[in-house]
Structure 1
Amino acid sequence: MNAATVGEGMDATHRLATHKAMLRLLPLMCAIYFLSFIDRTNVALAKNALAADLGISAGAYGLGAGIFFIGYALLEVPSNLIAHRVGPRRWIARIAVSWGVLSTAMMFVRGEWSFYVLRVLLGIAEAGLFPALMYMVTLWFAPKDRAVAVGWIYTAPSLALMLGTPLGAALMQLGGVGGLRGWQWMFLLEGVPTIVAGVVLYFKLPDRPGSVKWLTPLQAQSLETHAVIDTHGHVELFSPDWFAAIRRPTTVLIALIYFLNQVAFVGLYFFTPSIVSQMHVKSPLLVGLLSSSVGFGFLVGVLALPRIHRRVSNDCAFLGVLTAGLVVSGLVFIESASQTVQIVLLGVTGFFAGGILPSYWAVAMKRLQGIQAAAGLAFINTIGLLGGFAGPYLFGLAETWSHRSDAGFKVIVAASAIGLCLVPLLARAIRLAQRPAAARAAAFN
């Protein structure tokens, strides 16, 4: 048997193992991420009810919606270092149960301060979930397969925006049953399933290829070899390995571009129901259905764009085109006077703002592995989460000043334009990182 035949056999083994891993892992990862998105964004549907029932203003709502991301952001890196040490299965299960409990507790909000406190605690409880999922991707999938794997994971939040909004609106129709208001029923019935899911994940979600019976030893070894897997172990708090990852110019620039994307995208999906409501749509269910256009665009984006990205050799050119598309869609929305066109543009904006997300992570994962992946990916998500705080807050301020929810589209355009300006800097940093150390030093002198 010649070397070419052996190589083809190993490639076939890896393809089969990757297919098995995607079928087994991605549904579990998508399910928990779907629930997390439902539990963090259902507050958008409760915005008007919280104002009517508890007097929570648009500015206070924007602060509370965004403040979720503060505790979440501060604990991202330490949370993912723990996931590296104990294994993602146990840590993801713990995260799910604790945030499910706190999401359910949102039904007990009584005013602005209890709203703020529970949103902060919810963010703390959920901290580390997404980077732990991304860390799992680096343990199981080869770099060439990661954009597609991450794209499938991102179908979860897109479906949550499509299905969760109408579902939440339907649950709010239970107002009056059992003496509870509609928004209380929504928080209760969408929080409890997350607790159950966390228990299921503890028993069903594997840590590494070598720990499962549904892969042959050769298949498990193939996945680990192509993924450049590392072993779980003790992580020093001040380890130079993970400090090096977060000091890299490529990591910092990806984080900043992601931050600006999250300012735009998180602000959009937290305020979309309000934007639709100001179009004189009175039925809560119809508001939910029309608001799902963002989720539909998001879903199309994460399914189509990673497959296109896999065939594009220039990562930064691809990121630049998508970011420019986001700027254009925002400008056209602002200039349009047709509500029908604006509903379509909500979907187009979701396509660009959400569809680009797997590409950010694929670009980052090419340059991080092992403990550096755990720390670097968590750092990028931390910076992005700060954008998740800033976005709703800026949207809330824009609505307060203009008395129009769609004023937030000016925030989308500004943030995306700045992000577009950073893409050439990222391209330069990537080129420099690929040079020998001496050449890099000379380039900066």
Structure 2
Amino acid sequence: MNTVLENIVKKTSWRLIPFMLALYVLAFLDRSNIGFAKNAYQLDTGLSNEAFALGAGIFFAAYAFLGVPANLLMRKFGARTWIGVTTLIWGALSAGMAYADTEWKFLVVRVLLGAAEAGFFPGMIYLTSQWFPQQKRAGIMGLFYMGAPLALAFGSPLSGALLEMHGFMGHPGWYWMFLIEGLVAIIAGVVTFAYLDNSPQEARFLEQSEKDALLAQLNSEESVKMTSHISDAVSNARVWHLSIIYMIIQISVYGLIFFLPTQVAALIGTTVGFKASCVVAIPWIAALFGTYYIPRYSDRTGERKKVAAGTLLLAGIGIGVSAFAPPVIAIIALCFAAIGFIAVQPVFWTMPTNILSGAALAAGIGFVNMFGAFGGFLAPIIRVHAETFFNNNTAGLLTLAIITVIGSLAILMLQEQTKQIEEKKEVESV
């Protein structure tokens, strides 16, 4: 990549990535903060473990089915309008969790929150593909993906501190946690309308010559991709394979995240509050470093699938060790787990953007993300059922570890499949 284009990418990164990162921090915090409220919320509302697991996962039901149409709508209406509206709605619903004091309210709000967030994450992935050259994309998405560990590292103490507001003005701590974090998202939605540009063509921060150079690079990459038709994205065998892998990754992620505060609290012998939330932050701080360096290594070497497989395998080992290790070793293992299942994702997302373009890319990202949403839905259910079936609290973690290792093997199978496809093309060209 030439120096001029390098400078354009840096300029675009400084403009977009901090803002995208901030939005992702809020989105991830709003979808996962029920993990911090779990014990107090269940105690106050009478919610059973099964109902909590269903509510934690049901978010992903609406999220799954609306991902594809949401991405196509963003392509039609533009990133500024779509992301802005999406953020406003999910912020209002997240704040509405403060008033979900019965089981049916809890389930309804979680479904609506999933529907509202359906367009955000796949929209961000698609937006990245529209602004950044392929060679830089894993590192760029690595910066964006740092939103998840940032939300959990710094949002954990925030959520824990808000839970300490229990009794303020007659409301429980979880009321204030949901309300305040939701209101912050609403403010972010308003800012989006003023800050975000729809595309490089409309970029207010780039000179015309910079726009032309960036668009020329992006268009040259689009011209060599396999397909740009929406129907081809769904019928492509590699897209299905990637979808299953991503579902496994999300089972690993959310099978741990929703229960991590209570798991760590049990390890250190305390209740979920500010102290436990500070310890919970440790694995996510470790994940920040992994999410920064691993995608950059992938960009530098050009190796995607081996890096992704090894990183996900690290997550599986970390989850498994945390199930039976003593507290200090368990926390270290959770650090490796967090590094693995967060850092693998920006590397993973370079794969569909390598083979699809245009409307097919928008639909394909939504389709892969839909399977990931199913993984998020299944994750807490799988963990709770494994613990109930084996009557053992470690069974859920060991089940997640096995599933994660299978995902790593599935990535290696994709590597073999890709090699066979390339060999077939060489034969056909002869």
If the TM-score is normalised by the length of the shorter chain, which range does it land in?
over 0.9
Distance, in Å, in 2 between the alignment partners of 1:183 and 1:295 is 22
Distance, in Å, in 1 between the alignment partners of 2:421 and 2:410 is 17
Alignment map for 1:121-140 (pairs within 5 Å): 121-140=112-131
Q: Identify which of 301, 315, 329 aligns with 2:318.
A: 329
In the alignment, is the contact (CA less than 8 A) between 1:230 and 1:370 conserved in 2? Answer: no
* Runs (5+) with no aligned partner, structure 2: none
Instruction: Classify the secondary structure of the residue corresponding to 1:110.
Output: coil
> Which region of structure 1 is more displaced relative to structure 2, 309-318 or 159-168?
309-318
For 2:164, the equivalent position in structure 1 comes to 173
Distance, in Å, in 2 between the alignment partners of 1:36 and 1:215 is 28
1:366 maps onto 2:354 in alignment: yes
Distance, in Å, in 2 between the alignment partners of 1:219 and 1:190 is 38
Q: Identify which of 13, 20, 36 aligns with 1:29.
A: 20
Quote how far apart the aligned CAs of 1:284 are: 1.2
Give aligned pairs, total. Answer: 424
> Which region of structure 1 is more displaced relative to structure 2, 97-106 or 367-376?
367-376
Quote how far apart the aligned CAs of 1:438 are: 9.4
Please tell me the residue identity of whatever aligns with 1:72. Y
> Which region of structure 1 is more displaced relative to structure 2, 346-355 or 416-425?
416-425
Q: Identify which of 363, 374, 378 aligns with 1:386.
A: 374
1:259 maps onto 2:250 in alignment: no
Q: Identify which of 96, 105, 108 aligns with 1:105.
A: 96
Distance, in Å, in 2 between the alignment partners of 1:66 and 1:298 is 23
For 2:111, the equivalent position in structure 1 comes to 120
Distance, in Å, in 1 between the alignment partners of 2:82 and 2:424 is 38
Q: Identify which of 222, 225, 234 aligns with 2:216.
A: 225
> Which region of structure 1 is more displaced relative to structure 2, 51-60 or 15-24?
51-60
Q: Relative to structure 1, is the Cα distance of residues 52 and 399 closer, same or farther in structure 2, using a 3 angstrom cutoff?
A: farther
For 2:309, the equivalent position in structure 1 comes to 320
1:51 maps onto 2:48 in alignment: no
Please tell me the residue identity of whatever aligns with 2:201. G
Instruction: Classify the secondary structure of the residue corresponding to 1:434.
Output: helix
Distance, in Å, in 2 between the alignment partners of 1:184 and 1:411 is 33
> Which region of structure 1 is more displaced relative to structure 2, 216-225 or 66-75?
216-225
Quote how far apart the aligned CAs of 1:324 are: 2.3
Runs of 4+ in 1 over 6 A off after TM superposition: none
For 1:299, the equivalent position in structure 2 comes to 288
TM-score of the pair, normalised by structure 1: 0.90
> Which region of structure 1 is more displaced relative to structure 2, 430-439 or 104-113?
430-439
Quote how far apart the aligned CAs of 1:435 are: 5.2
For 2:232, the equivalent position in structure 1 comes to 244
Distance, in Å, in 2 between the alignment partners of 1:188 and 1:283 is 19
TM-score of the pair, normalised by structure 2: 0.93
Please tell me the residue identity of whatever aligns with 1:303. Y
Distance, in Å, in 2 between the alignment partners of 1:189 and 1:405 is 33
For 2:6, the equivalent position in structure 1 comes to 15
Distance, in Å, in 2 between the alignment partners of 1:283 and 1:113 is 25
In the alignment, is the contact (CA less than 8 A) between 2:228 and 2:357 conserved in 1? Answer: no
For 2:147, the equivalent position in structure 1 comes to 156
> Which region of structure 1 is more displaced relative to structure 2, 35-44 or 403-412?
403-412
Quote how far apart the aligned CAs of 1:293 are: 2.4
Distance, in Å, in 1 between the alignment partners of 2:167 and 2:253 is 34
Quote how far apart the aligned CAs of 1:342 are: 0.5
Residue by residue, what CA displacement relative to the aligned partner does 1:47-69 show, whole Å, maximum 9, x if unpaired?
Answer: 00122111112221111101101
1:83 maps onto 2:74 in alignment: yes
